[in-house]
Chains A and B, each alone.
Chain A
């Protein structure tokens, strides 16, 4: 099967969608399919990224994209003239059996890909910002683009929540996968193996991911237990987040910055993983932490509830209740056996989301719409 995956977000930009696309492509290639990723050049994201060791022959870059903030969420859009023509030319040259578009209603590449594709098209919805005025104005046109999709996938109910009943489609739920083998091979960083409770927060530093709440809860717990907060990730809110760390805990808050391949070691260093998201999320980092055997604390939002069962792999906590998060951290610090049991059950749960089975489900969708190969 020749598969063209179109995505606005891809490496060197980090996040759930690039991770999803890269793992799906790798798994499908392993099964003998040809996968090409169609994305854009990202000059700003490339600056802080480590040099890419793998050749990019299977990545086709069309135009250049810029970051933008929409309702507190950082996204990307490809711009300039000639993007549509370039996509048309790629589709004509590559003759894909199926074009798979991620975040199909977000401008620019996804919409243009649906517009110009002549064969079967599959779209996967991911959680994102709530649509605004532009969406309401263009709803009719966007429904035509949804109707054009031969199959619609959502990675969780959180991906559909922003649209409510304003768009109609038959949606199949296929969750994010997790690279189980990769994530379970991390090694604990010895410098942080000093008896302190290592609390890990990992994600893009933006308001919806709840770093402010995390710092507040950690501060409360820190007064009673010897603990360290490790913040992994970057984003436009990083300088603000660093500035807001209370002085008395400054020494015990570590900002590791942008991390990609080394994530397993950071998960292995953690004694507890926290995901205090304030908005629906697909829970990629939750799955990763569970694969690494971490007990998890997750906020009570759409998406997380589909992955974590309260009291099994970890605890589901009110999204805005700092005190509840602090109490949960103290519980895990004082009862290590509870954390170990959460971690073990999490590892078992995460195995269900391993990429080989998730990729097969997606390939099954292609076959269900008549794609052969």
Chain B
């Protein structure tokens, strides 16, 4: 028999509950729901970006991290980048 009712516990493992056979939803309704979800996500993203900008605003004044590495980084080696030979016009 499929598991039903509240999920029983098996140690730290919760038993899965079989999905009840779903009624076939109206396609138009599903597409409408999808469009609503997309619009809601756009709105949430705009709000999230705005509040993230607020949270990060103090870093505009103090851009570098306050702490330092335990072992300072060795200075990066200078790399020699050879010039490409000029192309001759044909």
Asked if A148 and B17 sit within 8 Å, CB to CB, the answer is no
Partner of A80, one of B31, B33, B51: B51
CA of A242 to CA of B33, assembled, Å: 10
User: Given A79-B50, A236-B38, A239-B34 in contact, is the A261-B67 Cβ separation under 8 Å?
Assistant: no
Query: Are A115 and B30 touching (Cβ within 8 A)?
Result: no
Distance between A293 CB and nearest chain B CB, rounded to angstroms: 16
Q: Any chain A CB within 8 A of the CB of B78? A: no
- Check: A163 CB closer than 8 A to any chain B CB: no
Nearest-neighbor residue (CB-CB) of A64 within chain B: B51
Q: Which residues between 3 and 46 of chain B lie within 8 Å of chain A, taking CB atoms?
A: 3, 7, 10-19, 22, 24-25, 27, 30-31, 33-34, 36-38, 41-42, 44-45
CA distance A299 to B14 in the complex (A): 30
B52 interface contact, C-beta 8 A? yes
The docked-state distance in angstroms from the alpha carbon of A119 to that of B11 is 38
> What's the A-B contact tally at a CB cutoff of 8 Å?
165
Nearest CB of B to A63, in Å:
7
User: Which one of B18, B30, B58 lies within 8 Å of A239 (CB-CB)?
Assistant: B30
Check B80 for interface membership: any CB of A closer than 8 A: no
- Give the residues in chain A near B17, CB-CB below 8 Å: 262
CA distance in complex: A282, B42 (Å): 27
B81 within 8 A of A: no
Does A67 touch B at the CB level, under 8 Å?
Answer: yes
CA gap between A40 and B65 in the complex, in Å: 21
A147 nearest CB across to chain B (Å): 6
Question: Nearest chain B CB to A132's CB is how many angstroms away?
Answer: 12
Residues of A within 8 A of B22 (CB): 255
Is the beta-carbon distance between B13 and A185 smaller than 8 angstroms? yes
Known: A261-B13, A262-B7, A262-B17. A66 touches B51 (CB 8 A): yes
Say whether B15 contacts A108, CB under 8 Å. no
- How long is the Cα–Cα vector from A276 to B44 in the complex, in angstroms? 28
User: Residues of B contacting A236 with CB < 8 Å?
Assistant: 37-38, 41
- B contact set with A: CB distance below 8 Å: 1-3, 7, 10-19, 22, 24-25, 27, 30-31, 33-34, 36-38, 41-42, 44-45, 47-52, 54-59, 62-71, 73, 76
User: Could you list 17 further interchain pairs (A-B, Cβ under 8 angstroms) beyond the known A80-B55, A261-B14?
Assistant: A68-B44, A77-B52, A111-B56, A115-B62, A116-B65, A116-B66, A117-B65, A120-B70, A141-B59, A182-B12, A240-B31, A240-B38, A243-B30, A250-B24, A255-B19, A256-B16, A269-B16
7 closest Cβ contacts across the A-B interface?
A79-B51, A265-B16, A262-B16, A243-B30, A191-B2, A240-B34, A261-B14
Q: Would you mind naming 14 contact pairs between A and B with Cβ atoms under 8 Å apart?
A: A66-B51, A67-B44, A79-B47, A84-B55, A117-B66, A145-B65, A186-B13, A239-B30, A239-B33, A240-B37, A243-B31, A243-B34, A250-B24, A265-B15
